[in-house]
């Protein structure tokens, strides 16, 4: 494998290890898959397999990240709904108290 490909491999490994944003993962996957289109004499020996494996690992990490983000968003929606339900419960309790006090006042006036 050429020195350029070794340097590229090291750069990709460090980039993939530090990539946390969904967009960055997609861009890295595009870069990796474009390397697979190179002629075998340019990419050398075992590099295509390593590039393929790296792209696959990155796609799996991206899929997991998207799924986790969806779960977190769903949990936030549930939390928002719980807060809404709590607020509605409090409003109902206060409405009942107000109605009770209004009835008592009407009895006192009558």
Tell me the per-residue pLDDT of 2-25, one tens digit each, with 9 for 90 and over: 556 666 666 666 666 566 778 888
Report whether pLDDT(85) > 70. yes
pLDDT at 70: 84
Asked if 40 and 86 touch (Cβ cutoff 8 Å), the reply is: no
Instruction: Count Cα neighbours of 75 within 13 Å in the Cβ-side half-sphere.
Output: 6
pLDDT at 8: 66
Q: Where are the domains of the chain?
A: 3-109
Distant-in-sequence, close-in-space partners of 51: CB < 8 Å, separation ≥ 6 = 32, 35, 36, 43
Instruction: Count Cα neighbours of 43 within 13 Å in the Cβ-side half-sphere.
Output: 17
pLDDT tens, residue by residue, 23-58: 888 888 888 888 888 887 777 777 788 888 888 888
In the block, tokens 């295509």 appear at 48
């Amino acid at each position: 494998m050429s020195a350029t490909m070794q340097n590229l491999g090291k750069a990709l490994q460090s980039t993939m290890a530090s990539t946390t944003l969904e967009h960055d993962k997609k861009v890295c996957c595009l870069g990796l898959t474009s390397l697979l289109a190179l002629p075998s004499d340019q990419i050398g020996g075992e590099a295509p397999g390593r590039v393929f494996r790296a792209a696959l690992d990155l796609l799996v990490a991206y899929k997991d990240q998207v799924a986790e983000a969806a779960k977190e968003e769903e949990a936030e929606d549930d939390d928002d709904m719980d807060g809404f339900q709590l607020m509605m419960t409090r409003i109902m309790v206060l409405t009942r108290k107000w109605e009770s006090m209004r009835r008592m006042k009407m009895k006192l006036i009558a």
